[in-house]
Amino acid sequence: MITVAACVASVVVHTNNNTHKAKDTARAQLDELHADDLGHVVGTGAFGTTGLGDPPTAFVAVEIRNPSTVVLAEVGSRLETNGYTLRFKCNPSTGCTWEKRHGGHLISARAFVYDAGQTWGRKSTDHGVVSPSARVLEIDIIVGG
């Protein structure tokens, strides 16, 4: 006889394995962007889980010096080279979203530029506040989102 506890434990292990694989996929996609040459990397992290709640997400936060439109255009070019398609019109004030299918999963890439005093990495334990007179580009890679 299979107990409820055994079924729950099996689902938890399966969900944890899927979450781990999804975060690895997100990190690998993020690595292909080479965000470190867009500016000074101020943070990286991952959050979310498969199933309920926020989907598995990896992110990088980069302090930028170039105008937001120039940086977002460069991010878009790199993403499109890697098979992503722009989903909505890219707007520096609201962010940009690209998507692609990879390994049977929908993968979304979102880019935002934050100004002084705003928080980057807000859903992660790895987060920070943009310094005065600075701007930070955050790129999120979401698997299954």
Residue written as tokens 């930028």? Answer: 64
Flag whether pLDDT at 5 surpasses 60: no
Express as a percent the part of the chain with pLDDT over 90: 50
pTM of the model: 0.84
* Per-range mean pLDDT, top range of 11-25, 51-65, 74-88: 74-88
Give me the count of residues in the chain.
145
Amino acid, single-letter form, for residue 134: A
**Structural contact between residues 96 and 68, judged by C-beta atoms closer than 8 angstroms:** no
Of 57, 64, 21, nearest in space to 42 by CA = 64
> What pLDDT, on a 0 to 100 scale, did the predictor assign at position 145?
56
- Contact between 46 and 26 under an 8 Å Cβ cutoff? The reply is yes
Q: Is the pLDDT of residue 71 over 60?
A: yes
Q: Is the pLDDT of residue 127 over 90?
A: no
Q: Report the C-alpha gap between 127 and 139 in whole angstroms.
A: 13
pLDDT category at 87 given cuts 50, 70, 90 is very high
